[in-house]
Amino acid sequence: MLGIGVGLILTGCATYAPLPLGSGQGAPSVMQLTAPVASMPALALPDHRFDPSDGLDATEVAMLAVVNSPALKVKRDELGIARAQAFAAGLLPDPQLSFSEDFPGHTDAGTSSAYSLGLSEDITALLTRSSRRAAARSQAAQVNLDLLWAEWQSVAQARLLFDQVLTLRAQQARLTTEQAALTPLEPSINAALRAGNLTYDSASVGFNAGADLRKRLADSAIALHQAETDLRVLLGLAPGAPLDLVGAPYQASPTPEQVQQALADLPRRRPDLLALQAGYQSQEAKLRAAVLAQFPALSIGFNTARDTSNVTTHGFSIGITLPLFDRNRGNIAIEKATRQQLKDDYEARMLETRSDMQRLVADLATLAQQRVTLTAHAQQLDAARRAAETAWQQHLLDWPTYLAIRGNALSADLDLLDLQQQQATQAIALEALLGNTDLATAHPVSVKAATP
């Protein structure tokens, strides 16, 4: 019978299986990745057909980030750990079985071997089980909500990187156009220097213009490399995987009424705030468990025994911890302090969120006004550049003035591109704080690319 019991116990035991480490190379192409709509977080992405064969638009990039981001995979692993902990918290404590046998040193009539068999259970663990289960369930809910919030943040990060890559590529195109226009000037400047028709002081203006343009091109290329690398990492792509981005950058334009409505619903809708609420409930349960654990630890058992005189006895045992010194006061104090910290953390997050939202709304209004002014200014300078180019070709304008006009027009064009990206960044950040994509409207952003 003992062998049968041991066999039944062993059949329920877990077994070990190795899990080799991967190489972490990433997917060589987006065509090898999938983004099922069913995996998308609620309210984070609209229904959108995923088809990377014609390039990736802003929504498809966000979908890939949700499904394939290495950081989100780690978050999902954390959720698996939390669920395992919730499962472990609900398990009943195993009873303790004890057996001992004594053999007499000499055999007399009426003597026999003695034994003792006992079975006991920790009653205190049963009393705190419900509180521990509640704490573990709330903890798992918090991790799940933290995962959802991380998915929303990944969506915002994907949209932001999509916009950054497009903006930096537009900068590269504009700077390359300007470089093509200025390249013929340097041979003319060198020829004038050799002929003695130009001093080095005057020639330095032209040389500096070319050097400044090359520096801008290099700086823009480095920033583009970083943005493309960050986007590939977010999507789980290999370092050399191509990034064929198409379509307009993602933008959101919430009205003040929508902002106020979203702000009022924030504690009931935004995952990070819901996660903090779940964490607070988990801590409440932990505190209740700590209060229950201050009572004396109790264990009850039943036993049967036979002594060497062949007398069999049956009885029970009770074990109790005398609450003289500890009484679990230290753990209760820790749980109370932790609860206070979580309460203050939640209130601080709410205050910070409200302040950030108001600031972003004000920033977007300022950037919108600035964009109108800068667009008109850039158009005026572009018109001046075209007129200066005509005059230069007709030998009616000296080259230092011509370079100054071109430089001013180039700076205005690049400033406008930077401003457009700032608008997109602030709008994406606001939508992430609001947690409501119903406020989003994707529309084209004009990208200036003047001809030389």
DSSP assignment of 358-424: HHHHHHHHHHHHHHHHHHHHHHHHHHHHHHHHHHHHTT-S-HHHHHHHHHHHHHHHHHHHHHHHHHH
3-state class of 303 per DSSP?
strand
Strand ranges inside 245-343, DSSP E: 298-306, 312-320
Model confidence at 451, pLDDT cuts 50, 70, 90, reads: very low
Q: Is pLDDT at 426 greater than 70 in this prediction?
A: yes
Vertex 173: Cα angle to 367 and 157 (nearest 5)? 50
In terms of average pLDDT, the best of 189-198, 293-302, 341-350, 427-436 is: 341-350
Instruction: Say what the pLDDT of residue 292 is.
Output: 80
Bridge partners of 299, per DSSP, are 122, 319
Residue 177 lies in a domain: no
- Separation CA 411–CA 393 (nearest Å): 22
Instruction: Say what the pLDDT of residue 36 is.
Output: 61
Instruction: Say what the pLDDT of residue 40 is.
Output: 58
Average pLDDT, the chain: 81
Q: What is the mean pLDDT of residues 293-299?
A: 76
CB–CB of 61/227 below 8 Å?
Answer: no
Residue in this structure with the two tokens 């709330």, named with its chain if needed: 138
Instruction: Say what the pLDDT of residue 35 is.
Output: 61
Q: What are the tens digits of pLDDT across the range 223-270? A: 999 999 999 999 888 888 889 998 888 777 777 777 888 888 888 888
- Separation CA 119–CA 155 (nearest Å): 56
Q: What is the mean pLDDT of residues 323-350?
A: 87
Q: What is the mean pLDDT of residues 332-345?
A: 91
Q: What are the tens digits of pLDDT across the range 102-131? A: 777 776 666 777 778 888 877 777 777 788
For residue 304, the domain's CATH number is: 2.20.200
In terms of average pLDDT, the best of 4-13, 79-88, 265-274 is: 265-274
Q: What are the tens digits of pLDDT across the range 193-212? A: 777 766 677 777 777 888 88
85 vs 38, more confident: 85
Q: Is pLDDT at 80 greater than 50 in this prediction?
A: yes
Residue 50 lies in a domain: no
Enter the tokens of residue 333.
């104090």
Q: Is pLDDT at 279 greater than 90 in this prediction?
A: no
- Separation CA 293–CA 298 (nearest Å): 10
- Separation CA 228–CA 158 (nearest Å): 11
- Separation CA 61–CA 34 (nearest Å): 11
Q: What are the tens digits of pLDDT across the range 133-157? A: 888 888 888 888 888 888 888 888 9
Number of domains comprising the chain = 1
Residue 120 lies in a domain: yes
Domain that holds residue 314: 94-127+295-327
Q: What are the tens digits of pLDDT across the range 388-424? A: 989 988 888 887 888 889 999 999 999 999 999 999 8
DSSP 48-85: ----GGG-B-HHHHHHHHHHH-HHHHHHHHHHHHHHHH
Residue 318 lies in a domain: yes
On the CB side of 327, CA atoms within 13 Å amount to 5
Residue 301 lies in a domain: yes
200 vs 339, more confident: 339
452 vs 35, more confident: 35
Residue 174 lies in a domain: no
Instruction: Say what the pLDDT of residue 10 is.
Output: 52
Look at 32-36, 81-85, 365-369 and tell me which has the smallest mean pLDDT.
32-36
Residue 363 lies in a domain: no
State phi, psi for 203 to the nearest 5 degrees: -70, -25
**Total residue length of the chain:** 452
Model confidence at 450, pLDDT cuts 50, 70, 90, reads: very low
CB–CB of 368/423 below 8 Å?
Answer: yes
Residue 273 lies in a domain: no
Instruction: Say what the pLDDT of residue 11 is.
Output: 58
